């Protein structure tokens, strides 16, 4: 069984450990779902899904650590979403050109 630490020493140690852990973690989107609009979630969802897939199914073993750091970073979610929508636009334009070419 584990040792239970009590008293103010435990609180000080816990805060020091938390400070080290917080400084090592990247800034992530920890906002509540209700604080974001529906359009934000529709816009960002493709990037979130792509980053989640990259995290769950890494190409190589070392990729796990990088994908874990990227998974909840809002800037990367937006960038991946923009790439997704750009590719959908390109596919849509190519489909339009192919169907209307005589």
pLDDT tens profile 70-97: 777 888 889 999 999 999 999 999 999 9
Q: Is residue 74 in some structural domain?
A: yes
Q: Is residue 49 in some structural domain?
A: yes
From 67, 78, 87, 88, select the one nearest 44 (Cα to Cα). Answer: 78
- Provide the number of structural domains found in the chain: 1
> DSSP class of residue 3?
P
Q: Is residue 10 in some structural domain?
A: no
Q: Is residue 88 in some structural domain?
A: yes
Q: Which pTM was predicted?
A: 0.59
Centroid of chain to Cα 12: 31
pLDDT by residue (tens digit) across 27-53?
565 655 557 788 888 899 999 999 888
> DSSP class of residue 71?
T
Residue 11 reports pLDDT greater than 60: no
Q: Is residue 9 in some structural domain?
A: no
Q: Is residue 12 in some structural domain?
A: no
Domain span holding position 46: 34-100
């Amino acid at each position: 069984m584990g040792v239970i630490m009590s008293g103010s020493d435990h609180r000080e140690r816990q805060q020091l450990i938390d400070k080290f852990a917080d400084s090592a973690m990247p800034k992530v989107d920890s906002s509540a779902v209700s604080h974001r609009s529906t359009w934000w979630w529709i816009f960002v969802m493709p990037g979130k899904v792509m980053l989640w897939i990259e995290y769950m199914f890494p190409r190589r073993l070392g990729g796990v650590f990088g994908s874990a750091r990227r998974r909840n970073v809002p800037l990367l979610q937006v960038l991946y979403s923009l790439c997704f929508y750009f590719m959908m636009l390109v596919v849509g334009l190519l489909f339009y050109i192919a169907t209307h070419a005589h």
